[in-house]
Amino acid sequence: MADHPKEEEKKGESLMEKIADKIHGHDSSSSSSDEDEKTSSAKDKVYRLFGREKPVHKVIGGGKPADIFLWRDKKVSAGVLGGATAVWVLFDVLELHLLTLLCHVSIFALVSLFLWSNATTFIKKDPPHIPEVIIPEEPLKKFASCLRTELNRAFAALREIASGKDLKKFLSVVAGLWVVSFVGSCCDFLTLLYTITVALFTVPIFYEKYEDKVDLYAEKALAELKKQYAVFDAKVLSKIPRGPLKNKKSD
């Protein structure tokens, strides 16, 4: 009988120890989760190029075009880049004319199909199946609508820049246009277009692979540019007279 209360006391002590262990375990898990949240938030605050918050795939538009530029489907990406290279070689390196090439290809296709269709009557075979090509209406409407929206947005941005409200944006746009004009004077339009195409197929995937290192160097370069711009603003831009001041209201 004396051993019975001792056993109950031991059971009670073991139960209290289990409860205490669970409380300590919950506290440690909550503290570790808090630490994980802090580290994740610290990672989220890492500088990203141009202040982006989305992955590279979303930044360049997402969907099938982004998959092509990021080489998700290597066969399609290689085919598109190979086709662009072939066009550049034909029209820029070999200096063929687009209209002449289209006419020659059309003549060859028409003569081949015409001879094949007439030859089947002599050799007693089925004539070639020439598919009917019909341009759908809805994709053209969507493309025209998207093009109209982007053009209106570009015109609105140019109007805002030309209004003289943002000097920094004005100078950056002028500098960008000057760089484009300089590059255009060094090469023809087709070469420039092909260079942009090659850049679209190489720069995004390179950045996606080494984005941490690129962002680190970009942050340092941006900080240095801000310092230089602050000096330029203090010495030059601040001394430039602005537009006419608004007439003050008479008392």
pLDDT interval class at 247 (50, 70, 90): very low
Report the phi/psi class of residue 33: left, alpha or beta, with left for phi > 0 and alpha for psi in -120 to 50: alpha
Is residue 70 within 8 Å of 56, Cβ to Cβ?
A: yes
- Which residue type does 241 have? P
Q: How far apart are the first and last CA of the chain?
A: 104
pLDDT interval class at 109 (50, 70, 90): very high
Is residue 72 within 8 Å of 80, Cβ to Cβ?
A: no
Among 33-42, 105-114, 174-183, which range has the highest average pLDDT? 105-114
pLDDT interval class at 13 (50, 70, 90): low
pLDDT tens digit string along 176-233?
A: 889 888 888 888 888 989 999 999 999 989 988 888 888 888 888 888 888 888 888 7
DSSP string, 197-220: HHHHHHHHHHHHHSHHHHHHHHHH
What pLDDT, on a 0 to 100 scale, did the predictor assign at position 123?
A: 79
Higher local confidence (pLDDT), 4 or 182? 182
What pLDDT, on a 0 to 100 scale, did the predictor assign at position 3?
A: 47
Nearest to 49 by CA among 161, 203, 227, 231: 203
Is residue 193 within 8 Å of 180, Cβ to Cβ?
A: no
pLDDT interval class at 104 (50, 70, 90): very high
The CA distance from 159 to 151, in Å, is 12
88 has pLDDT over 60: yes
Please compute the mean of the pLDDT values over residues 46-69 and round it to a whole number. 76
21 has pLDDT over 70: no
52 has pLDDT over 70: no
The CA distance from 129 to 167, in Å, is 63
Is residue 72 within 8 Å of 85, Cβ to Cβ?
A: no
What pLDDT, on a 0 to 100 scale, did the predictor assign at position 46?
A: 56
Residue identified by tokens 């056993």 is 7
Structure tokens at 74: 């290597």
What pLDDT, on a 0 to 100 scale, did the predictor assign at position 249?
A: 44
